[in-house]
Structure 1
Amino acid sequence: MFPKAFIRAGIALLAGASITCAVAVVDDDLDTSEAGHIGIQSEVHDGTGIHYVKNSGICETTPGVTQISGYIDVGTNMSMWFWFFESRKSPKTAPFTLWLNGGPGCSSMNGLFQENGPCSVNADLNSTTLNPYSWNNLSNMIYIDQPIGTGFSYGTDPVYTTEEAAPFVWTAFQVLFESQLFSKYASREFIFATESYGGHYAPSFVTYFEEKNALIASGAIHAVPIAVSALMINNGWIDPHIQSIAFLTFATYAPGYGQLQPNDVLKNMSDALNSSDGCLAQEKACYAAGNSTSSNKICADADQYCIGNLLIPAVGDYDAYDLRQNSFALFPHEYYVDYLREKDVMKKIGTQVQYEECLDAPRGLFRQTGDSARTWLPQLSTLANSGMKILIWAGDTDIICNWLGVHASVLAMDWQGNQTLHNTPFTNMTINGKPVAAVQNVDNFSFARVYESGHQVPAFQPKTALEIFSQVIRKEQLHSV
């Protein structure tokens, strides 16, 4: 949610998240040219198109597995970067999964290369190693940089809020699913997976998709339905009011790891949290102000105050994303950033701009509206009430979106399973007899505290993450294997 440089410097400024296999069959209906362009005269949605490179040879080198990277035009001077990887197994029947990193303003290439993508970059900054736990073992995967200005995406960025970001991602999938390249995936199981600021993105975007689906069903608009079958949020920033409290709770006693900060720091944090003009009071004022323009300053001020007086002292000299490391954490490695800036790599994958992991520009627009201080818990509650398959999971060494705050947000959801969830004890999920997570299951909803994992669960516990992903795909409650 916030880049490491920001945490290390102690600047109270909202920022972004960084703060192998069976041979698959290639579909015959894909264009076999190395580079292509879906032009305005061929396949278009509202005057937009796709510009792409196919089978660049970068990252996914499993024989027979197709990859496509490039840009989706989602508006005038608005080019949204995507990177698609076919499933290594049964690509013609495997589900279709979207992965979004958070920020706002942090690239999903972070998730691709550091977490659950087909490869990781080696220390030489010039080569890659296949990831045996890549999620494209099981699913066709697409990674998207949004909003515009994030990662490899470029052009005009009109997005100041989570809510404003949703239509552009919806448009991106309209363009994709109406194209010859991706039309076959429109009818697949669609899994929406995200982390960190994705606790805002996911409830917003999926709610927007559902609203559009209703209009399509009624005949009010003509478009391709985007029917999300499962939703996964890893260490999400969902409800700032609840999760601000958890900064103090977690710093006082992180389960399994003990007290993180000395008593004098905890006392100052408690005062900042509970005083008449403190974090909770300011957050309540933000919630009460709603989404009017006049609420922007109220929410932005609340966000800055809570970050400066609760998050930063909770982190102290630890790495915000893994309390087992100090503020100069070395894992997960950032080798991939240099790799993506290599001119040869850029040319092969078809990017038009130099890569940046977390950019100030899109983040700054969100900061102006105080978007981080707003809650998306009501929308998440509604989705849970609909019976959608939902997994909320969190690594238990993360501080910034710590599992206590994520779990408290889940317990506060207003849905039909609320009381049952409160009365459901944690049980250990094991893999080959080893405990890997503490889980709660209520119907189609699951929560998991993943042991010995930081913010980016698939990076720290790749085997566990892949097994959990497989159970979500099969719409199973989380269980031992």
Structure 2
Amino acid sequence: MLLDIPSLQPQPFFPLHVPLIPSLNTIMKLPWLLSPLTLGLGAVAQSFVSPPTDVEVVLSEKFPGAKISYKQVHNLCETTEGVKSFSGYVSLPRDFIPDAKAWDEDTSGNFFFWYFEARNDPENAPTSIYLGGGPGYTSFDGSSVFPCYVNPDSNSTTVNKHSWNNHVNMLYIEQPLGTGFSYTKIENGTYDTVTGEFTPVVDQEPQPELNVTKLQATLQTAGIGDTMNTTKTAARTIWRFAQVWFNEFPERATNNDELAIWAVSYGGLYAPVFSSYFIDQNKKIEKGDPPVTNSTVLNLVTVGLLNALVDIRSMALGFPDFALNNTYDLPVYSEEVAEMVLGNITASDVGCLDLVDKCRAAVAKDDPESTGTNNDVNEICLKAMQVCFGAVTIYDQVSPYHHFDITLNKYASFPTECETALFNQPWVQQELGVPLNYTRGNNEIEAAFLGKTGDMVRYGLEYIGHLLENGVNIAMINGDRDFRCNWFSGENASLSIPFSEAHQFATAGYQSIMTNASHEGGFVREYGNLSFSRVFQAGHSTGGYQPETVSAIFERTMFRSDVATGEVELAKTPNYASKGKASVRDVKNKLPELIENICYVLQPGDTCTPEQVKALEEGTAETEDWVVVKPAGTKGERVLEGKGGNGDKNSSKGSTQDGSPTTSGGVRLTDSLAFVFLLVAATVII
């Protein structure tokens, strides 16, 4: 039976319920009887983002028209004595970006970066790029093990002792253009946090009255045509960013030329495709045929994938499987739903798998560079994406739990989203040298990638295979509470990668990951240059849940020791294989306690109950530090529970021993909701 999934609006793999985040640099002018103190907004004069000051500008000598503008960050995030960080922009002219020919002639692409020197021996440390997901989602979302935590006041930070920059120089990049602080065109206007609508200021016209959900903002206003529309167009652009930054950023002082790319979620497409492109350009340069004058080899040695979408074809069957058989014994939807989802995946000719094959064949024949300009190819891939992604996102219509953490109710979120307010504080904007408001995501990028070209289904595992055959180290990491990029799907993908040592990898056993002397943080299968890790008690933002374990995996991968113990030097043990059981699906987890959702004024679509959203709209909500305190949140309740926590000793290992909090929640899947779903399913194609 094939489920007729209702037509879906383009939706990012890392969903952006409220795609753009507004300015926080004002006292809100409220039409209600709520004071600034009640709202916790502070007494700051109404204004748009001020232009940055004290910015250093470096005009590129190797790549005419490009430039780097930056400043040292002194009082934010990385406050360890003697450790430096720098933030700024690499600006690329239109003519330097291969897929920007349709842009206005005076338009440039401005990529925001934040560079953190390693806390230990930065002069000899390797460098890692980190990319967020989306598409169009920020790189500062809590998925990585960032140098600092944002405090609940959304106005200060605390140093993270497990940060990835302990021994690695970290370069965080906001991409594609329009993501986060990156931009092509910006304007002043008003932003509605509930609807996600941004209205630019028009001279001589009266301005709308501001309130707690309608705010002044300075935001990216370019349309679909002024950003990338596929992962491959983004790859060509970010390679040029890298050429400018690695060749000419004056504050980069390391003798180690090793480079890594780590990414989360939709970044599971970015990192392999980008890295493969880097390697291909390296080969051209080494042959004396550089693709761009003055370009140099970028010594890419490692790729890391956190709860990543790497290949929808090999991952698809994992979704209904995980829904019923996850290691928390918590079915997230019914067997009937799972059966219909399975039908949508496997149906001959019209199911996800066959449609993906048609898309990839069309891309190979008529759009091999994935420019996204062939409308016939786009249409074929969009059909595949709608069916495949519909089989994933039907979860949001029928499950009471969060798609990024099945132990949470659907309104809760973790890590907390305090960074939204922090990065829009005026003093933080000046400290970072940015001319616009921070945004968690961009719906124009979402529309370009998912609503125009069907980018999500275009790429397979051949990119990871290509990297492995070229000696690149690959680490795949999945938290076992995530549904959207669940570990069953990740495991399926890891076992489907086409490379010469695939058999040896598949026959390696699962070994416990010793986070430290007393804590087992998960399991890993590893052979040669490839590892796949299941991390206990972690949702989609794995590094936010289990920073010590994920940091251990990161450092062991970066410095080529075994993931399980960190004691085996892989350079001296080329045929190393982890030892243990062939499968660890029988190792169960203990369900954590339920918690209430935290409703953020600036992120209502992600974090608030319908009652709280209504109160915000009507002006009756009471808030403190950008959090709605009345109406209160909900813990929800769990249903369809099995025997959570009935596995071996590892089942109870979790966040508390790894230095980060454990969270959970749930709401009831009512008979009426199940009935609505069956009505949707009634219009089926046999």
Q: TM-score, normalised by structure 1?
A: 0.90
Q: 1:37 aligns to what?
A: 56
Pairwise CA distance, 1:272 = 2.2
Q: Give yes or no for the alignment of 1:443 onto 2:528.
A: yes
Pairwise CA distance, 1:227 = 1.0
User: What amino acid does structure 2 have at the position aligned with 1:318?
Assistant: Y
Provide Cα deviations, 1:392-433, integer angstroms capped at 9, x if missing partner: 111111111111111111111111111112211212122324
Provide Cα deviations, 1:162-216, integer angstroms capped at 9, x if missing partner: 0010121111111112225155448422121111111111111111111111121
User: What amino acid does structure 2 have at the position aligned with 1:333?
Assistant: T
Q: Give yes or no for the alignment of 1:392 onto 2:476.
A: yes
Q: 2:148 aligns to what?
A: 119
What is the DSSP-based 3-state SS (H/G/I as helix, E as strand, rest coil) of the residue aligned with 2:172?
strand
From 133, 138, 150, the counterpart of 1:107: 138
2 CA distance for matches of 1:166 and 1:310?
Answer: 26
Q: 1:328 aligns to what?
A: 411
CA contact (8 A) 2:332 2:400 kept: no
CA contact (8 A) 1:199 1:376 kept: no
Q: 1:94 aligns to what?
A: 125
User: Structure 1 pair 310/104, CA: closer, same or farther in 2 (3 Å)?
Assistant: closer
CA contact (8 A) 2:68 2:249 kept: no
Q: 1:71 aligns to what?
A: 89
1 CA distance for matches of 2:271 and 2:129?
Answer: 11
Provide Cα deviations, 1:61-80, integer angstroms capped at 9, x if missing partner: 11111111011012231100
Q: Give yes or no for the alignment of 1:298 onto 2:380.
A: yes
1 CA distance for matches of 2:78 and 2:524?
Answer: 33
2 CA distance for matches of 1:247 and 1:69?
Answer: 39
Pairwise CA distance, 1:44 = 5.0
Pairwise CA distance, 1:18 = 5.5
Q: 2:171 aligns to what?
A: 142
Pairwise CA distance, 1:236 = 1.2
Q: Structure 2: which 5+ residue stretches go unaligned?
A: 1-5, 17-52, 95-107, 185-221, 367-373, 567-686
2 CA distance for matches of 1:12 and 1:424?
Answer: 42
1 CA distance for matches of 2:387 and 2:156?
Answer: 43
CA contact (8 A) 2:392 2:484 kept: no
1 CA distance for matches of 2:57 and 2:62?
Answer: 8
From 400, 405, 413, the counterpart of 1:317: 400
Q: 2:359 aligns to what?
A: 286
2 CA distance for matches of 1:358 and 1:146?
Answer: 10
What is the DSSP-based 3-state SS (H/G/I as helix, E as strand, rest coil) of the residue aligned with 2:248?
coil
From 10, 15, 25, the counterpart of 1:13: 10
Range moving further from structure 2, 151-160 or 275-284: 275-284
What is the DSSP-based 3-state SS (H/G/I as helix, E as strand, rest coil) of the residue aligned with 2:309?
coil
From 73, 76, 90, the counterpart of 1:55: 73
Range moving further from structure 2, 225-234 or 280-289: 280-289
User: What amino acid does structure 2 have at the position aligned with 1:438?
Assistant: F
What is the DSSP-based 3-state SS (H/G/I as helix, E as strand, rest coil) of the residue aligned with 2:337?
helix
Superposed, 1:344-363 pairs within 5 Å as 344-363=427-446
Superposed, 1:229-308 pairs within 5 Å as 229-276=301-348, 277-291=350-364, 292=366, 293=374, 294-308=376-390
Q: Give yes or no for the alignment of 1:426 onto 2:510.
A: yes
Pairwise CA distance, 1:380 = 0.7
User: Structure 1 pair 312/356, CA: closer, same or farther in 2 (3 Å)?
Assistant: same
Q: Structure 1: which 5+ residue stretches go unaligned?
A: 1-8, 20-33
Q: 1:172 aligns to what?
A: 241
What is the DSSP-based 3-state SS (H/G/I as helix, E as strand, rest coil) of the residue aligned with 2:180?
coil
What is the DSSP-based 3-state SS (H/G/I as helix, E as strand, rest coil) of the residue aligned with 1:299?
helix
Pairwise CA distance, 1:321 = 1.0
CA contact (8 A) 2:132 2:265 kept: yes
1 CA distance for matches of 2:246 and 2:254?
Answer: 7
User: What amino acid does structure 1 have at the position aligned with 2:418?
Assistant: Y
Q: 1:188 aligns to what?
A: 257
What is the DSSP-based 3-state SS (H/G/I as helix, E as strand, rest coil) of the residue aligned with 1:160?
coil
User: Structure 1 pair 443/337, CA: closer, same or farther in 2 (3 Å)?
Assistant: same
Superposed, 1:198-213 pairs within 5 Å as 198-213=267-282
Q: Which has the larger radius of gyration?
A: 2
Q: 1:461 aligns to what?
A: 546
CA contact (8 A) 1:230 1:389 kept: yes
CA contact (8 A) 2:303 2:474 kept: yes
User: Structure 1 pair 168/479, CA: closer, same or farther in 2 (3 Å)?
Assistant: same
